[in-house]
């Protein structure tokens, strides 16, 4: 297998040059002018196009069991969706039941993914209980290349952990060089607010964000960074949604705490009024943290530009409107949380980021590919276009235009939260380790080509 | 002319890979494995070495007339010093007298530099007066490729400008896509504090920092970012030295003002106690802003790591201790301000940065090469290792060790403020557009090879 | 002359008790239960009423020459308005021309006020130029009991002073124990913004606030507190209007700078939309700093409650709409700045403060009477109900209701900016040093009874 | 019983005047000049003296069971100590066991205090568990005049409550108009830090503050204010000790959360080096929150002056060094927490406050008497000198000088943490509801005269 991409404008997080890219086997072997094609190489003309490293989504929930149902996408449908959207690698959250051995949960996740994916993937392992047995299991899991933990400060009674478990998880993570992801909302506060709202008859989707206001997320972030500072462990704040939480995270960075901040594409483009749409339409926009006041969007974009936010991900969690979201028709607390966006993250970020002048192309690549790869130990295999890296490449046509619609999507879910959004640019060709998986914007890849990527622990406090 | 650097670990602001670099003429043409050497190419074995893009110092004062004398380095001595230290391009400040046509000043600077430099260079043009004639001259200067302005909020009676001139300069800069650098200290406050201290008999070098405390710098920064926000012009804060000023700059970034922050290598490593050394030794450490309390150093390093500080420069301004610094023996306000550090910036930053675990290699390259190049329109010619860029390369041996001493330096000045500092790593080979200018750490280049680099206006508000 | 006020609920900044107040001559001599009336005393039954110390307005402009015209109120009309509104003492700004001896200006002010006022008053002296002669004059003026200075950082070409004058004024003030008031807006920035707006055809009243945005006021405050910290002089920020400026002031307080913050009643109740009213009606609401976004009102009320704001004043500056405000019909920069509110401050603050639950009665008395008296050396003569204080008393009926209308006002101006505002409570009786000046809400006092109050320097840095 | 105090300079939180005070029975009946003495009145000449309202200490632990022992002072010894120190009323914390009915605990406290105290007192009731039965008990307790709650976010396994209990307690408090006091340290974080330190062999008193760093207190404050904002309940932060926690509290005040901040006299004067004294002497200074870096002292004093801190209390908790503190000789976690300061608070605050120029006399009275009285519903009976208030008066001689020593103290404990501190000023005479209890600095009062003071709920969110 060999590939030569000619004359594209190669853009990484820091470089930008027109050149050819040669790939031998699965790997990039040279970048230069007028390179000779290897024998039998497929040649792709990228003149007038941009060439990006494959995008990395570090935050997905594929076929997640949640509230008695499952997120709809399988590794097959999710990976197809990822690839047509330019994402060539994602990291999925493996979440054990509270009393389950994490290794057993991991087997479940492996069973869902082995041979099912068209693109590469890795796992985070959630810590939903902490004792010596769990610690032993975690050490073994880290040795297998799953080098990031996840903790929930939210979801009372489901996945959340108490402060002792948090402290001990972080101490273990630090000793192993593992980065700990955290969902930062105070679970007890939310449960009580939910009860208060339901008791007051506020049962609709619009009550969801009322039950988890920005101060609850800010409190979660403050809690997390305090424990990070105490233990010296680096932490990764998932799905930060608002100025209040960002302010706490930034202050922590400024006093030397090792904090990485992730926001989601939806927080940059949607506000809470979407969750207040009539006829239960708002349920399509119920997620946690919830959508916020529109004023936060400018704050988040500024933070991406100047570096306070490091990563833009999806928290992809697709639930059908027709028969899943509707579980909460009479009680917003029963609406499965989450929206689909794995397929659309990159094109939305491109359209509203570099194409709109909010960030430059380097920062676009950085937050959607390079930083996720680096923070989670995928770099230099992923996240860059350089010699020796996996030939995960995206040939991007800035001249493409399209309108998002659920009717044309690869994601296995019956709606798209960005229905009708106009898009600028798009992926012409996407490769997975040197094999073309998307051509002219359509999936032409191979289910089963995608592989689990073992990662080295590389987190530094 | 051709060059092949084999097997080095190429590190840019975002990439890192072991590969060969081929240069044809003055330009990088390919990066790959087992590249074929062009005919007649010099081959350099970089196995076990790092290869960095040539470092860029955006803040120097070569042969600056100041306080009735001149900074000692010429373009010849400065460029030799830059190159042995790994810096392959610097941007010097051309500073007109208050009533001088800036084009005339520029001729003076060209006369100093044409044919005198071993490495490439460019100019910033200082705005020391603003009227319609000056504005016309500035437009012409920008068209010639000098696309950055400099204003002084300090130096009463010399170079400082008033608020109307500041506003109009920024408005012009914005319209031209020019980035405006600013020295942020309140000149009048300092003049009065100086008078107060002298009247109180405090005439020694240690009074210098007393006369310009952190709040005066913070006030200057607050002033600047207010005008930047009013006019929509992007601004570049030169030589930020302390937490108080950083705090104001960061707040401005967070509300969307286009602010770039530069600190200097000396603020990261020296504190004000150096300026209080006996026997007038402190005069060697008199600069503006002055050295600060040691607590600021941790703040500045953290800010480099998490991106609040964008650039590390030198403000290189060498004055001999013996007969220049001594002009202020009886009156600290007559000590020429400045220290030499052009030769040592990169090695000091490497030693105390990546080698000490404070920042990673990518951030090191970013703040010392890529960001200065990008902010000032030198990229992609400078600041990166990529196809099409100038072959300004540094082969860096991490195993080198040395001790800084004035007796061995290329800089034309009779002391080194870092005398006795232990250094880790160093440049084996440095190239200037494909020609080897440093070999085994010693200068072997050509005076006159260095060229003025015209830049495109690229600043965005 | 003797007076006995029976059974009122006496409220000071810290005390609250039902008791009788006995006054002999001009002074309070006893507070107690069932006090015996002095011979010939007038007895006032205050059962069911509140008794407050006379309110103090530290910020008025009586018959101020401004923009070629005069503020309309004389000491006679102003003092009548003050008294019916419950204000028994005001401090007026004496503002010399730039090249005028301040003692001459003071003579002008004395000529306007001697024998013309029904209530007591004092002066601040503005420093519009600073040199040794001015300094001598200021020392003399302070000895005469005018113990507060005023500086303008705004009003280019009129009253503003440069940084050297600011520094020297503050240093002098500190040495004399004098408090320096400052108008904190950057004059040059505003002048340029005004020119920009006029050039763009924005000539109406709504452009006034566009020309002086919050960041310009914040910049002024930052500038002032920096100089206060440098010189160790206490400062008093007049008419603070917005969150951005408050934030800077509060940070300064927190690092130990001696800052007093005054806001105006209008900033608490009006927003900038009033200045955008059609038919040039907006001109009635043109003042500096300008009215702000409504979001600032909550911030200012909170700041009053928790002590970040110390004083609520008026900046009373009445200009007729018909023939004064209209001077700026074609150019907003020619609209005389200011609104009348001397008569309404106390009732508006009561209605929207304690009567609405935003602050308690003690804080109401504190910010409108006690703090102005204390900060400016009027205490203990003014600002309190205690033995030995001037018998300046307000018997307040919380049951009164009225609607503000210009047609019934004492102020000599042809509109009221609060026209139609509903009022809760009001002054039944107001006394001036033991003499009843308001009875049943109507003026019954004596023109000429009001006296200049000499003050002791008492400011501490 | 009648009393006439002649010619003292009466100072309250806002007033200051030389006058006589007449008391009939237990109450102040008149303040005036040359008052006639009631029949049989004791006359005290206060010429040249200050007269303050009796000071109020809202934070004591009298005979508290703690760690298997008891705080040493009884109501008898504590009230004698309070009175000679100028404190005429204190509020003690009644702390139920976790599974104890709060009414039973209250009976225990009543049994300790009834007839045992020489001065008045009241109780806070701690909420150490929350369920419907507890809520009913609390409602009953509030009806009995105990209108303030206390929660501990610290002390794992002893008194701490979880977030659901915190939320419900605050919601109940808000509905009842009750103010909730909170000990703000994260209990789990501390327990783990303690275990870590002990495991590392750090067993001495100096490890105590290592185990509870400022960020842990700041986290507790952040947690509390979040719940206060969610529930709309006013909160009172007890014993705030450091800049980090103050910063969070102040931000909450600024966004409108009803937060009262208390610090302790010891945090103003002692730093953590005292807890590091050799020979286990440091154990005398073990308290929670612990003593901090000396830099915090200036921050706390500034905050008192400008109003960010509202109350200065003691957290009086006396444990003998000889046989109680020594319980922790081999394990710092077993050292009983607390120091005695009830007797010394007022004189220390006077000496280092108004006598040293850090705050004025009004603010001194405010934070040590008036604010505690007002915040907790004791006003207007306590905390002021005004008609109708209890005649709790302190005649203070500013000319007194003494040195603190345990050998002369009334407190029943074998050391004084301020041993050797020089004192300026002191109480000559102290009265308890009109009866002289201290004369010439010595206790002459009556055990049993002190009464429980029932309070009205008055807290506003």
Residue pLDDT, tens place only, C290-314: 999 999 999 999 999 999 999 999 9
Average pLDDT, chain D: 96
D77: which 2 tokens?
Answer: 């010894």
* Residue linked to tokens 């594409």: A265
Report the distance separating Cα A174 and Cα A460, nearest Å: 8
Torsion sign over Cα C23, C24, C26, C31: negative
Check CB contact under 8 Å for A32 and B22: yes
Please tell me the predicted confidence (pLDDT) of residue A352: 98
pLDDT of amino acid C160? 79
Kindly state the tokens that stand for C336: 């005389």
CA distance D313 to chain C (A): 19
CA A433 to chain CA centroid, nearest Å: 20
Q: Give B88 to chain A, closest Cα distance, Å.
A: 18
Q: How far apart are CA D138 and CA B381, in angstroms?
A: 75
pLDDT of residue D157: 61
Residue B259: pLDDT above 90?
Answer: yes
Nearest-angstrom CA–CA distance, D82 and D379:
19
pLDDT over threshold 70, residue A155: no
Partner-chain contact B14 A370, CB within 8 Å: yes
Residue among C58, C64, C56 at smallest CA distance from C112: C64
**So what's the pLDDT on residue B282?**
98
Q: Kindly report the number of other CB atoms within 10 A of residue A115's CB atom.
A: 12
pLDDT at C158 over 90: no
- SS3 string of chain B? CEEEEEEEEEECCCCEEEEEEEEECCEEEEEECCCCCCCCCEEEECCCCEEEECEEEEEECCCCEECCEECCCCHHHHHHHHHHCCEEEEEEEECCCCCCCHHHHHHHHHHHHCCCCCCEEEEEEECCCCCHHHHHHHHHHHHCCCCEEEEECCCCCCCCCCHHHHHHHHHHHHHHCCEEEEECCCHHHHHHHHHHHHHCCCCCCHHHHHHCCHHHHHHHHHHHHHHHHHHCCCEEECCCCCHHHHHHHHHHHHCCCCEEEEEEHHHHHCCHHHHHCCCCHHHHHCCCCCCCCCHHHHHHHHHHHHCCCCEEECCECCCCCCCCHHHHCCCHHHCCCCCCCCCCHHHHHHHHCHHHCCCCHHHHHHHHHHHHHHHCCCCCCCCCCCCCCECCEEEEEEEEEEECCHHHCCCCCCCCCCCCCEEEEEEEEEEECCEEEEECCEECCCCCCCCECCCCCCCCC
- Sorted by sequence, the CB contacts under 8 Å of residue B5 that are 6+ apart come out as B20, B21, B23, B43, B44, B46, B51, B393, B395, B429
Q: Compare all CA atoms of chain C with the CA of D22 and give the residue at the minimum distance.
A: C32
Q: What does the pLDDT read at residue D39?
A: 87
Residue B422 lies in a domain: no
Least confident of A341-345, C413-417, D98-102: D98-102
Distance separating alpha carbons of residues D284 and D119, to the nearest angstrom = 27
Place of tokens 């969307």: B256
User: Is the Cβ of C213 closer than 8 Å to some Cβ of chain B?
Assistant: yes
pLDDT in tens, D213-271: 999 999 999 999 999 999 999 999 999 999 999 999 999 999 999 999 999 999 999 99
Is C123 part of a structural domain of the chain? yes
CATH number of the domain that residue C79 is part of: 3.20.20.140
Task: Report how far apart, in Å, the C-alpha atoms of B162 and of each of A180, A413, B236, C163, C195 are.
Answer: 51, 62, 18, 11, 17
Q: What is the pLDDT of residues A349-401, one digit of tens each?
A: 999 999 999 999 999 999 999 999 999 999 999 999 999 999 999 999 999 99
Q: What is the pLDDT of residue C195?
A: 95
Whether C296 is in a domain gets the answer yes
pLDDT at A153 > cutoff 90: no
The chain-wide mean pLDDT, for chain A, equals: 96
pLDDT band at C406 (very low <50, low <70, confident <90, very high): very high
Which candidate from C191, C213, C219 shows the least CB-CB separation from B222?
C219
Going by C-alpha positions, the residue among B97, B255, B302 that lies closest to residue A298 is B255
Instruction: Report yes or no: A306 and B254 within 8 Å, Cβ to Cβ.
Output: yes
C33: contact with D, CB 8 A cutoff: yes
pLDDT, average across residues D287-303: 97
Considering CB atoms only, which of D10, D299, D370 is closest to C14? D370
Q: CA B150, CA B130: separation in Å to the nearest integer?
A: 12
How would residue D188 be classed by pLDDT, with cut points 50, 70 and 90? confident
Residue closest to A189 by CA, chosen among D273, D163, B8, C8: D163
Interval A387-423: pLDDT, tens: 999 999 999 999 999 999 999 999 999 999 999 999 9
Q: What is the pLDDT of residues A108-142, one digit of tens each?
A: 999 999 999 999 999 999 999 999 999 999 999 99
Q: Quote the Cα angle for A149-A155-A161, to 5°.
A: 50
Q: Is residue D443 part of a domain?
A: no
The overall pTM is greater than 0.90:
yes
CB spacing of B386 vs A15 below 8 angstroms:
yes
pLDDT of residue C1: 77
Structure tokens at B367: 């703040």
Mean pLDDT in residue range B315-340? 96
Q: Mapped to the 3 state alphabet, what secondary structure does A241-305 carry? A: CCHHHHHHHHHHHHCCCCEEEEEEHHHHHCCHHHHHCCCCHHHHHCCCCCCCCCHHHHHHHHHHH
Q: Does residue A266 fall inside a structural domain?
A: yes
- pLDDT of B381: 97
Dihedral-angle region of residue B84 (phi above 0 means left; psi in -120 to 50 means alpha; beta otherwise): alpha
Cα end-to-end span (Å), chain A: 41
Overall number of domains in chain A: 1
Closest approach of A217 to chain D, Cα-based (Å): 10
Look at A17 and B254 and tell me if their CB atoms are within 8 Å.
no
Decide if pLDDT at B186 tops 70.
Answer: yes
Task: Specify the pairing of strand D16-24 against strand D2-11.
Answer: antiparallel
Q: Which residues 223-252 in chain B show a CB within 8 A of chain A? A: 250
Mean pLDDT score, B29-53? 95
Tell me the sheet residues that pair with A90: A57, A121
pLDDT mean over C360-376: 98
pLDDT at position A68: 85
| Confidence check: pLDDT of D441 > 90 | yes
Chain D CB contacts of C379 under 8 Å are 16
Residue A333 has pLDDT above 90, yes or no: yes
Find where tokens 């005290």 sit.
D44
Whether A12 and chain B come into contact, CB under 8 Å, resolves to yes
Q: Which two tokens stand for residue C206?
A: 């709504």
* pLDDT of amino acid B155: 60
How would you classify the pairing of strands B2-11 and B50-53?
parallel
Would you say residue D315 has pLDDT above 80?
yes
Angstroms from B415 CA to nearest CA on chain A: 34
How large is the average pLDDT for residues C143-163? 85
C248 within domain boundaries: yes
Question: Looking at chain D, how many residues does it have?
Answer: 461
Residue A413 DSSP one-character state: S
Q: Would D246 be classed as within a structural domain?
A: yes
- Chains near C (3 or more Cβ pairs under 8 Å): B, D
Q: Report d(CA D142, CA D179) in Å as an integer.
A: 11
| Mean pLDDT of chain B, nearest integer | 96
D188 and A167 within 8 Å at the Cβ level: the answer is: yes
The predicted-structure confidence for D447-456, as pLDDT tens digits, reads as follows: 999 999 999 9
- C19 contact residues in D (CB cutoff 8 A): 30, 386-388
Residue C38: band (very low, low, confident or very high) from pLDDT cuts 50, 70, 90: confident
pLDDT, mean of residues A300-313: 97
The span from the CA of C78 to the CA of C179, in Å, is 25
What average pLDDT does range A166-195 have in this prediction?
Answer: 95
| Coil vs helix vs strand at A100 | coil
**What is the per-residue pLDDT across D46-96, written as a single tens digit (0 to 9) for each?**
999 999 999 999 999 999 998 888 999 999 999 999 999 999 999 999 999
Q: What is the pLDDT of residue C188?
A: 86
Report which of C424, C421, C364 is spatially closest to residue C400, judged by C-alpha positions: C424
Range of the domain at B240: 54-375
Q: Taking CB atoms and an 8 Å limit, are B30 and A35 in contact across chains?
A: yes
Distance CA B227, CA A333 (A): 49
Whether the predicted pLDDT of C156 surpasses 70: no
Calculate helix-pair angle for A187-199, D214-231, nearest 10 degrees.
10
A447 within domain boundaries: no
ipTM confidence score: 0.96
Mean pLDDT across chain C, nearest whole number? 96
């Amino acid at each position: 297998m060999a590939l030569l991409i000619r004359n594209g404008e190669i853009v990484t997080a820091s470089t930008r040059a027109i050149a050819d890219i040669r790939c031998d086997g699965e790997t990039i072997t040279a970048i230069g002018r007028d390179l000779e094609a290897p024998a039998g190489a497929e040649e792709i003309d990228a003149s007038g196009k941009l060439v990006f490293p494959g995008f990395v989504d570090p935050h997905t929930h594929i076929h997640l069991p949640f509230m008695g149902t499952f997120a709809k996408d399988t590794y097959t449908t999710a990976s197809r969706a990822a690839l047509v959207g330019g994402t060539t690698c994602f990291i999925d959250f493996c979440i054990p039941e509270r009393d389950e051995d994490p290794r057993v949960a991991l087997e479940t996740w492996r069973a869902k993914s082995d041979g099912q994916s068209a693109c590469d993937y890795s796992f985070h392992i959630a810590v939903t209980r902490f004792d010596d047995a769990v610690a032993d299991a975690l050490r073994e899991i880290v040795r297998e290349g799953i080098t990031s933990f996840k903790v929930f400060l939210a979801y009372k009674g489901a996945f959340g952990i108490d402060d002792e478990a948090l402290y001990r998880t972080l101490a273990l993570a630090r000793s192993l060089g593992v980065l700990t992801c955290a969902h930062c909302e105070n679970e007890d506060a939310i449960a009580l607010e939910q009860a208060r709202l339901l008791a007051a008859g506020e049962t609709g989707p619009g009550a969801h964000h009322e039950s988890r206001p920005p101060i609850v997320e800010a409190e979660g972030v403050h809690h997390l960074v305090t424990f990070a500072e105490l233990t010296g462990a680096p932490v990764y704040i998932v799905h930060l949604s608002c100025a209040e939480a960002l302010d706490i995270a930034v202050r922590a960075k400024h006093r030397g705490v090792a904090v990485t901040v992730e926001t989601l594409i939806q927080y940059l483009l949607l506000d809470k009024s979407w969750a207040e749409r009539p006829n239960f339409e708002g349920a399509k926009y119920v997620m946690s943290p919830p959508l916020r006041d529109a004023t936060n969007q400018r704050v988040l974009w500024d933070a991406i530009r100047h570096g306070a936010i490091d990563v833009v991900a999806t928290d992809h969690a697709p639930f059908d409107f027709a028969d899943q979201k509707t579980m909460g028709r009479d009680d917003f607390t029963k609406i499965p949380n989450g929206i689909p966006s794995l397929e659309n993250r990159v094109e939305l970020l491109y359209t509203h980021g570099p194409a709109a002048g909010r960030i430059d192309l380097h920062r676009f690549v950085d937050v959607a590919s390079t930083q996720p790869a680096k923070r989670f130990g995928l770099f230099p295999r992923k996240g860059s276009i350089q010699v020796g890296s996996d030939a995960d490449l995206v040939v991007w046509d800035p001249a493409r235009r399209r309108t998002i619609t659920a009717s044309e999507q690869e994601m296995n879910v019956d709606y798209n939260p960005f229905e009708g959004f106009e898009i600028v640019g798009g992926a012409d060709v996407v490769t997975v380790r040197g094999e073309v998986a998307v051509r002219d914007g359509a999936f032409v890849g191979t289910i089963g080509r995608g592989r689990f990527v073992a990662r080295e622990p590389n987190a530094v406090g």
